[in-house]
Every structure is written in structure tokens, then in C-alpha cells.
């Protein structure tokens, strides 16, 4: 692939939503095309430059950058090593790619073991991120070693805030059966919330903010945080459509599953309702879940009406 082709594809996609956010752009298209016929659609696509060129650009970037999160994780760790390692510290094992399950941690040296998280938290709908970071903290905390233990994250304040909240451990551990069994084999029912466990084990692992090492390399993090604050303010002033919140939540779950290397994710309408706060909107949730469903995805559980809380769909990760 030529650099010029990739650059052109990026420019096309930026022009698609350069003056507004993507959700608003898509919402406008939905409204504009409602109750219209094929002749109108053809004219609309041409006048608004929504031809197949943009779609081809999206496919081109997806194929080119499909492993971008793996690249960020690998090169992020490598670039941090020069700041982290002490003069007499020697790397014993590195696990910087996806699927290196035979190695317990991202970094093992003669002085430390460490896990790295290069994922931005939205402040909302962070369920999968919370599950993942708790698993890493737990595995580090329980590992038997005299070496120091570190969890490196993009935003320490957000992570520590999560560790101090009262989210139920049953929920946090529900998607990882191996970690779940290990946790309950060690502690049984001693702890019921994340805060319960963290309060008595926080001294076992040092949580470090990555951007403190190199503010230039990771300056996008601070920009993201400012944007997130702006979004929160906007949300307080203007209530967003329910369908947008539900759609984004489901897509976030699928994207997070992809980041974590999963081949599929099972999403239940009841869990979506509970997490988004729309516990009485299962018909709407189920309609959106089935609209997002692709041909290869599977409906694992349905109801006679097709609109109940038990409706569950397996989405395969592409």
C-alpha cells in the first residue's frame, strides 16, 4: 500500500465528520433519509459526498490499522523501559504483544513485575476496562515474589477511583472464569466489593501514571481528559437520545473485547439496561442489539416477543 493512498483515506474520513462528532453526523443521515426513496438517496449521497470512496477509505484504514492497539501496547512498553529500569536492573521476560499467555506479566526483571494499560477511560460505560484493570491488579497482588509490583496506567486518578468504589466483585469477575475461580479459592466470601479488596491489598501494588514519564510522548492523554470533561459538561446541559447511549455502550463493549484479544463477546439485554440505567427499556435495547448484529453473530437466548431482558447475542470480533 502506498503512503499516498493511506493519507488520502485519512483525509476522506476526517472530512466525513470534521465539523461535528460522528454520532451527530450519523444521526443527521438517519433523519435526512427517513421516508425517502432511492432517487433521493442517490442524489443525497452525491451532494453530500457520501459515495463509496469514503467506505473504501474506511476499509483501507481498518485493514491497515487493525492491530493499532497491539502496536501501542508493544511500543508503549518499549519506550517506557528507559525511564523505568534502574542501572543494575535486567529484563528477564517481556510480553508486549497480543496472546502471550505463557508469560504471566508484561514485564519481569530481577527487581520488578509489571502490567501496562494504555487504554483511555471514558468515565462512562467503562465496565470492560474496569474488569481488565482489576484482573491485572489482582494477579500482581497475589503473585508470590520479593520483587516490587507495578501497575502502569494512563490515568491513575481514574483507576484508583474505581478501586475505591463499591462495584460488586461478582460483576467484575463475571467475564473471566479463571480469575474468578482463583479469587474465590483464595478469599471465599470475605470481600463483596472492589473497595473491600483494595482497602486491604492496595499496599501490594504501586499504581503509576504513565504520562508522568514523558508528557510529550503521552500528551494526547491530557488532551483526551480535557475533551472528556467538555463532554461531561455538554451531557449535563443537553440530554442525549437514549438510542445513541445504548448503541455506543454496546459498540464500546465490542471494541473493548477486541482490544483484549477476544474472538467474541456475549451481550445480554439485562446487563445493558443495568449498566446504562435504562432498566425499563428492554424493547429498545433489544431492537438496537439486533440492529447491530451482523450475519455471522448468533442470538444465544431469545424470548417469544424478542424484547426481554434475557435476550443475549454473541458478537464475533472482526
Q: Which pLDDT belongs to residue 101? A: 57
CA distance 238 to 206: 39
Q: Which pLDDT belongs to residue 261? A: 75
Q: Which pLDDT belongs to residue 59? A: 73
Q: Which pLDDT belongs to residue 32? A: 83
The cell numbers describing 230, all together, are 467538555
Q: Which pLDDT belongs to residue 152? A: 95
Q: Which pLDDT belongs to residue 230? A: 42
Report pLDDT digits (tens) over 262-310. Answer: 888 999 998 888 888 887 788 899 999 999 998 899 999 888 888 888 8
Largest CA distance in the chain: 72
In terms of C-beta density within 10 A (0-12 exposed, 13-18 middle, 19 or more buried), how is residue 162 classed?
Answer: buried
The cell numbers describing 318, all together, are 472482526
Q: Which pLDDT belongs to residue 234? A: 39
Q: Show the low-confidence residues of the chain (pLDDT under 50).
A: 1, 221-238
Amino acid at each position: 500500500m502506498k503512503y499516498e493512498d493511506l493519507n488520502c483515506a485519512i483525509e476522506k474520513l476526517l472530512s466525513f465528520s470534521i465539523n461535528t462528532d460522528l454520532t451527530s453526523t450519523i444521526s443527521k443521515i438517519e433523519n435526512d433519509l427517513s421516508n425517502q426513496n432511492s432517487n433521493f438517496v442517490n442524489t443525497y449521497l452525491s451532494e453530500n459526498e457520501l459515495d463509496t470512496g469514503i467506505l473504501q477509505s474506511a476499509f483501507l484504514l481498518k485493514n491497515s490499522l487493525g492491530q493499532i492497539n497491539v502496536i501501542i501496547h508493544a511500543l508503549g512498553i518499549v519506550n517506557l523501559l528507559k525511564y523505568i529500569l534502574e542501572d543494575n536492573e535486567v529484563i528477564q521476560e517481556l510480553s508486549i504483544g497480543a496472546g502471550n499467555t505463557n508469560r504471566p506479566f508484561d514485564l519481569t526483571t530481577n527487581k520488578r513485575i509489571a502490567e501496562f494499560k494504555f487504554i483511555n477511560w471514558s468515565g462512562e460505560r467503562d465496565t470492560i476496562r474496569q474488569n481488565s484493570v482489576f484482573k491485572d491488579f489482582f494477579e500482581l497482588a497475589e503473585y508470590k515474589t520479593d520483587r516490587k509490583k507495578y501497575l502502569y496506567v494512563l490515568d491513575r486518578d481514574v483507576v484508583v477511583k474505581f478501586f475505591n468504589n463499591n462495584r460488586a466483585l461478582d460483576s467484575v469477575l463475571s467475564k473471566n472464569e479463571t480469575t474468578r475461580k482463583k479469587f474465590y479459592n483464595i478469599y471465599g466470601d470475605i470481600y463483596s466489593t472492589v473497595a473491600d479488596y483494595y482497602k486491604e491489598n492496595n499496599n501490594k501494588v504501586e499504581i503509576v501514571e504513565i504520562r508522568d514519564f514523558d508528557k510529550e510522548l503521552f500528551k494526547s492523554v491530557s488532551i483526551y481528559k480535557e475533551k472528556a470533561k467538555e463532554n461531561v459538561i455538554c451531557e449535563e446541559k443537553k440530554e442525549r437520545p437514549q438510542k445513541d447511549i445504548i448503541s455506543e455502550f454496546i459498540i464500546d463493549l465490542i471494541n473493548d473485547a477486541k482490544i483484549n484479544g477476544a474472538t467474541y463477546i456475549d451481550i445480554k439485554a439485562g446487563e445493558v439496561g443495568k449498566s446504562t440505567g435504562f432498566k425499563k427499556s428492554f424493547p429498545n435495547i433489544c431492537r438496537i442489539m439486533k440492529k447491530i448484529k451482523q450475519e455471522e453473530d448468533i442470538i444465544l437466548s431469545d424470548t417469544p416477543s424478542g424484547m426481554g431482558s434475557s435476550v443475549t447475542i454473541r458478537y464475533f470480533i472482526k
